[in-house]
Each structure stands twice: as structure tokens, then as C-alpha cells.
Amino acid sequence: AQSVTQLGSHVSVSEGALVLLRCNYSSSVPPYLFWYVQYPNQGLQLLLKYTTGATLVKGINGFEAEFKKSETSFHLTKPSAHMSDAAEYFCAVRAGYSSASKIIFGSGTRLSIRP
Amino acid sequence: DGGITQSPKYLFRKEGQNVTLSCEQNLNHDAMYWYRQDPGQGLRLIYYSQIVNDFQKGDIAEGYSVSREKKESFPLTVTSAQKNPTAFYLCASTLEGPGSSPLHFGNGTRLTVT
């Protein structure tokens, strides 16, 4: 069975500081991994996804994530936080080779940015 | 622009009434999904549909019903049997294909039942 764990329901960083949001997954087959961002009262927007190949994935808004199979992790980072990054972030995993396979979402991490 | 439209954005109902949430997409996506979001609980799958006239229960289908008469439309009815219906509801869709196909989301409907 597949699962996703996001460590830390709330992360607070200063503007300009490194952002690190943690995600660990469990999957019996090679996974497809996704990070989404949600602004208040809006839907989820895809930040980036890992499929196969390069383990460092670059996304929108300066975010990137590194797939580490040995650690079953897919942590999201951004070198320098901006006030506009304040939002909720969701990690998701799909363990299956087709889009018909179920996607499992983590419980989310709320990112706050201190001026 | 292609996308998913959910309406209305805010919905208020009295307890005991059924209510239908609209979801329309013009992305030509095959599969559509309904999720429920509660604070601190992430997204929970209510129903999904891979093709027209077919749908399957997700993890929390009790008290909900759906239909898929057209590829573009996947309305969700919250029935009076749903014990705690107040939540944020998200509709999503995806193109049939490899597992790397991401979900695309609408902007949600916030339902408040009193």
C-alpha cells in the first residue's frame, strides 16, 4: 500500500531564508511524486512532479525537489523565501503506471513567511 | 483558457437538505474526481469517474452521490445522509495516460450546512 507523510503541519521561515518542506512516501512500486501548492480558498496548483530520470526536479516559482529512493523522500526546497510563498503545500504519490492508479495526498504543510 | 470550473464558490444550506455542487471541465480530460478537504486532514477522495456513465466510490462516499452523463461534467450531490457535510470540496480531472499525468483542480466550493 502507498502512503505519504509530511513532517510538520506548520513551518515558519523568515523572508529570504531557505524553505524546506519534508515528504516521505511508501510505495511498493516505483512511484510518481508530486508537490502541489494551495492558496487560501483556492484549488491546488501543480508545483512539480517526479517521473523517472533526473532525481532533482525543478518546478515553478523557484521551487525544486529531490527524489531520494534510499530515503524514500521527496523534500521540497526553495533557496530564498518570498512573502508570496505563504500557502499550504501538499505532497502526493501515485504508485502505478497509469493515470487510473490512485493518488494519495499527504496531510499538508502550512508555510508562513516572517517579514 | 482550458480549466475546471466549480460553482458556486460558497454555498449555504440548512441541515436536512440535499445540495448539488457543479464541476465542469473543458480540458477534454477523461477522468474526474471529487475530494473533500477538512483542516489538517489533507484531501480525501469521495468519488471518481474514468469514463462517461461510470463512476466508483472513493474512501468516503457515504452520504454523497454523483453522475457522469457527459465527459465535461461531474456534479456531486451532498445528501441529508452525510453527517458532517460542512467542508471545502474540490473537483479535479486528469488525462488518461501514464502515471505521471497530474491532477488538475478547480477552485473549490465551500459548503456550510447549519
| A58-104 pLDDT per residue, tens | 999 999 999 999 999 999 999 999 999 999 999 999 877 888 888 99
With beta carbons under 8 A apart, name residues in chain A contacting B110.
Answer: 41
With beta carbons under 8 A apart, name residues in chain A contacting B100.
Answer: 32, 49, 51
Q: Do A44 and B96 touch (CB under 8 A)?
A: no
B11 touches A at CB < 8 Å = no
Return the C-alpha cell found at A30.
Answer: 516505483
Q: Do A102 and B45 touch (CB under 8 A)?
A: yes
| Closest A-chain CA to B43 | A105
User: Could you say which of A51, A98, A106 has the minimum Cβ distance to residue B42?
Assistant: A106
Nearest of A85, A106, A72 to residue A37 by alpha carbon: A85
**Looking at B1-114, which runs of residues are DSSP E strands?**
4-7, 10-13, 19-25, 31-37, 43-51, 54-57, 64-66, 76-78, 87-94, 104-105, 109-113
**CA-based R_g, chain A, Å:** 14
Amino acid letter, residue A14:
S
d(CA A107, CA A95): 18
Percentage of the residues of chain A whose pLDDT score is greater than 90:
78
pLDDT at A2: 83
d(CA A109, CA B3): 26
Report the pLDDT averaged over residues B90-97.
Answer: 92
Other CB atoms within a 10 A radius of the CB of residue A33 amount to: 23
Closest CA of chain B from A18, distance in Å: 24
| Lookup result for grid cell 532533482 | A56
- Judge contact between A111 and A21, C-beta under 8 A: yes
What are B2-54's pLDDT values in tens digits?
A: 799 999 999 999 999 999 999 999 999 999 999 999 987 889 999 999 999 99
Q: Is the pLDDT of residue B1 over 80?
A: no
Q: Do B98 and A43 touch (CB under 8 A)?
A: no
pLDDT at A30: 80
d(CA A49, CA A44): 14
d(CA B52, CA B31): 9
